[in-house]
Structure 1
Amino acid sequence: MEKNIVTKNKKIHLALLICLVGFPQISETIYSPSLTEIARSYHISLNLAQMTLSIYFLAFALGVFFWGISSDYLGRRKAMNFGILFYVLGSLFCFYSTSALSLFIGRFIQAFGASTGSVTTQTILRDCYQGNDRHRLFGKISAALSFSPAIGPLVGGFIGEYSGFRAMFLFLVLMGLILLFWSVSSLRETKPNKVLSFSTSTILGVGKAMLVDRYTLSFGLQIGIFNGILFSYHSEAPTIFIQKFHFSQSSYGFMGCIVALATLLGAWISSKALKTKSANLIIKDGIKLAFSGALLLCVIVLLAVPLSIQILIYIVGTFILLAGIGMALPNCLSLALTKFSKVVGTAGALLSLGYYIIVSSCTFLISIFHTGSIAVFPLFSVFLLVLSFLCIRLENEH
């Protein structure tokens, strides 16, 4: 039976699954080059403009919980399509927003809908693949997703510079409509035949089981930390490269290619290493690599060197940091719910709720700590990576 499902899923279009899991990242990163322009347009501080990212991830956390559970009770296909519809409506709300409050509301609705692309796609993959096949597929999708951080800032930078940030929201509306049509016409249902009846006690029972399981808790915390670093970078990067290093919006957009190449390299190393190492060991290697990149960023902040050298080393340090995350993250995602295969939609919803709350907290904290200094992101990353080492100890106590 499992073999038949795998064959059927391969006919669903891997490209569609990649686009569905990737569009939430594009929707977030496309926004970052315009943060300073949005702050000026709505007459708010840059710190407050950065907090729109926290709102986005808070809504995303609530959304993955809702759509993940819905995918168990309504089916994967309905959860995906209704979520994309919410996303389109939220993007329209952003486009027509006339105040910072209405923009925040639009971003909340947009993120709530976009979250289905993350949790429901992961649920579909967990429905259909097991063991190393699943590890490799998550690695391949992570490699493909490495282009999302490149596409977002690149498109957002050019649109923002030449047409203004409202045109960016119109672009997201059109992208959502295309994805909705593609999903409605091509996405197949992969939910197992057993029908679940909605039960609060079942959800609470699954949540309690996940919280008391050190193995699951460790991977959930690490996923939140790695994503927290990644999106904290997107929050701070406009200040670092546009204000401090004097990049234009469009030039800054090309920095997304650095993020993409780093994540792609990390995922490629992980995929190759799976032939000789366990996923757990690859996660540890990824954390060590990321930590070395964060330390390099801290060192360059302390050195008095010409601006061109500072820019070069800052880019290299960021590349190393994100490559390490690219190694560790897909393996954490693959391993996190191995004990909850019978309730993978609900468990995925709870897992995603937890780690996106961590991401929201990270982006909120870095907006509080924001001073305009290029030292904020490296120091924050070192702190989070130390926490990830502690999570490994938690897992080892299992």
Structure 2
Amino acid sequence: MPMKKWIGLLALLTAFPALSTSMYLPAIPSLVRNWQEPLWFINLTLVGFFVVYSSFLLVYGPFSDRFGRRPLLKIGIGFYVVASFLCALSPNAISLIAFRMIQAAGGASASSLALAVSRDVFDARDREKVLAYLGVVVALAPMLSPVIGGWIIARFSWQWIFVILGGMGLIAFLGVHRMPETLRQTSQTPRTKFLSNYGHLIRNRRYMGLTLVVSLGSIPIFSFIAASSDIYITQIGLSEQVYGYFFGFNAMALMLGAFVCTRLNRLISSRDIITMGFIGLIIGGTWLILTPQDSPWDLALPMFVISFASGLSRPPSNNLVLEQVNRGAGAAASFLMFSLMTSGAAAMWFGSLNWNDKIQVLGIMAAASGVAGLVCWLVMRKTSDL
């Protein structure tokens, strides 16, 4: 299968989390009003999604090491499609939360095994380039999907968002059905010990340390996802469509960061790019803390810096983590995504709380995670010869 087709399929698979959250974000304030529920309860449709999503990431990886990537992807995406249509039929918040959790259980197969497939198909040098290109393509999903979601709400209803997600899932299912199996040699681990690969990962200090570092860098992005619709729509008073434009502006920064990474890694090392990413989080977070908050741009511009820094450092960070393992790539990719999504779910919950000044809280979280991540990263570079 040509590289371009692989990139297209992998981009769609890795876009599942962004498509499943950002397209739906403009609907949250209206659901709070229509169902007469507090924001934190409606946001359980986001937090619950990521908690279940991250838990199932741990399952798909080792099972795919034993049975192959293709069958696990087809099963997971099949559940995602069914759950998406059930979400569209939800009559209340509780049912939507439940169906979103089923949607998450299926969708977890996509992004988890996309990393494993990239590990199977490409060597280390080509894989970093592919991951960077995926970062550019995948960033289009959170950039465009809230705009599309705002249009759908304005012209139809929020239910159609999940109908469209189910349709995208069907396209991904057909793509996986046509792809060859990428796992060349299946794991010989007994069926009763599928999860034993995680024991090897936990004992791999370099892998675990780098996973922690990468997870710290994702915290401000997830917190922004949870708080952005409330800030822009409820607090500032923007419409759902205008909110989509502002959210897309920050998502564009992720894409731009990944694009710059594809050019910058020809000039400087991947390790230095990761360092630059953490410095960017500190700068953006400090800007948020000091901003006067007089307009929506007082949030959008500092978040642009934070999002750009995250997009810049994510491809080399993910690739460096995967380089630390020689076997069980599925489990390694799953545990990496589990760590990212678990820390992200905690950040989303924290950002959903009834803070008096959510913009200040976002700034503190970005600056703190940037400082903590930079310190841990520099220590690892010195002590582990990275």
Match of 1:229 among 216, 220, 236: 220
Note closer, same or farther for the CA distance 1:195–1:47 as it changes in structure 2 (3 Å cut).
Answer: closer
Residue by residue, what CA displacement relative to the aligned partner does 1:7-62 show, whole Å, maximum 9, x if unpaired? x4627542122112113211111111111112223221012222321111111112
Distance verdict in 2 for CA 1:219–1:270, change over 3 Å: same
Q: 1:254 aligns with which of 223, 230, 245?
A: 245
8-17 or 226-235, which deviates more? 8-17
Residue type of the alignment partner of 1:190? T
Q: How does 1:104-119 map to 2 (within 5 A)?
A: 104-119=97-112
TM-superposed deviation, 1:200: 5.0
Paired residues of 2:85 and 2:162 also in contact (CA < 8 A): yes
Tell me, in whole angstroms, the C-alpha distance in 1 between the residues paired with 2:58 and 2:192.
13
What is the rounded CA distance, in whole Å, between the counterparts of 1:117 and 1:202 in structure 2? 19
Aligned to 1:333: 318
Equivalent runs, 1:237-316 vs 2, <5 Å: 237-300=228-291, 303=292, 307=294, 310-316=295-301
Match of 1:208 in 2: 199
The question of 1:380 aligning with 2:370 is answered no
Q: Which amino acid aligns with 2:57?
A: V
Q: Distance in 2 between matches of 1:360 and 1:177?
A: 26
Q: What is the CA–CA distance in structure 2 between the aligned matches of 1:232 and 1:373, rounded to whole Å?
A: 10
| Offset at residue 269 of structure 1 (A) | 2.0
Q: Which residue of the partner structure matches residue 78 of structure 1?
A: 71
Aligned to 2:3: 10
Give identity over the alignment, percent.
23
Report the alpha carbon displacement of residue 249 of structure 1 after superposing the two structures with TM: 0.2
1:162 maps to 2:155: yes
CA offset at residue 162 of structure 1? 2.4
TM-superposed deviation, 1:135: 1.3
In structure 2, the partner of 1:171 is 164
CA distance in 2, matches of 1:144, 1:111: 22
Partners in 2 of 1:370 and 1:109 — Cα distance? 30
Amino acid at match of 2:139: S
* Offset of residue 195 of structure 1: 4.7
Distance 1:115 1:194 in 2: 21
In the alignment, what sits opposite 1:65?
A: 58
Residue 188 of structure 1 aligns with which residue?
180
Secondary structure of the residue aligned to 1:342 is coil
- Pick which of 114-123 and 227-236 moved more: 227-236
2:126 alignment partner in structure 1: 133
Deviations 1:67-107 (A, max 9, x none): 22222122111111111101012112211222222111101
Distance in 2, Cα, partners of 1:29 & 1:100: 18
Distance of aligned partners of 1:373 and 1:18 in 2 relative to their CA distance in 1, 3 Å threshold: closer
Q: Is the 8 A contact 2:299 2:359 kept in 1?
A: no
- State the one-letter code of the partner of 1:187: M
Are the aligned partners of 1:219 and 1:336 in contact in 2 as well (CA < 8 Å)? yes
* Equivalence for 1:24: 17
Using structure 1 for the length normalisation, give the TM-score.
Answer: 0.90
Rounded Cα–Cα distance in structure 1 between residues aligned with 2:194 and 2:152: 46
Distance 1:287 1:249 in 2: 31
User: Is 1:146 paired with 2:131?
Assistant: no
* Equivalent-residue separation in structure 2 for 1:331 and 1:213 (angstroms): 19
Secondary structure in 2 matching 1:275: coil
Tell me the distance in 2 between the aligned counterparts of 1:202 and 1:82.
18
**Secondary structure at the counterpart of residue 43 of structure 2:** helix
Which residue type is aligned with residue 226 of structure 1? G
Specify the SS of the correspondent of 2:153.
Answer: helix
Tell me, in whole angstroms, the C-alpha distance in 1 between the residues paired with 2:25 and 2:275.
30
Match 2:338 to one of 353, 356, 360: 353
Deviation per CA, 1:282-302: give whole Å up to 9, x if none: 1011110121111111111xx
Partners of 1:200 and 1:359 in 2: CA distance: 31
Distance 1:177 1:99 in 2: 26
**Residue 151 of structure 1 aligns to which amino acid in structure 2?**
L
The Cα shift of 1:252 comes to: 0.9
Task: Flag structure 1 segments of 5+ consecutive residues without an equivalent.
Answer: 1-7
Contact 1:81 1:183 in 2 (8 A): yes
8 Å CA contact 1:87, 1:112 repeated in 2: yes
Tell me, what secondary structure is at the counterpart of 1:339? coil
Q: Calculate the aligned-residue CA RMSD, in Å.
A: 2.0
One-letter amino acid of the counterpart of residue 125, structure 2: N
- Partners in 1 of 2:144 and 2:370 — Cα distance? 27
Greater alpha carbon shift after TM alignment, 206-215 vs 330-339: 206-215
Q: Indicate the larger mover: 232-241 or 269-278.
A: 269-278
In the alignment, the residues of structure 2 paired with residue 164 and residue 12 of structure 1 have an alpha-carbon distance, to the nearest angstrom, of 34
The separation in 1 between residues aligned to 2:5 and 2:180, in whole angstroms, is 6
CA deviation profile, 1:334-357 (whole Å, cap 9, x unmatched): 111213232101222222223322
Contact 1:240 1:372 in 2 (8 A): no
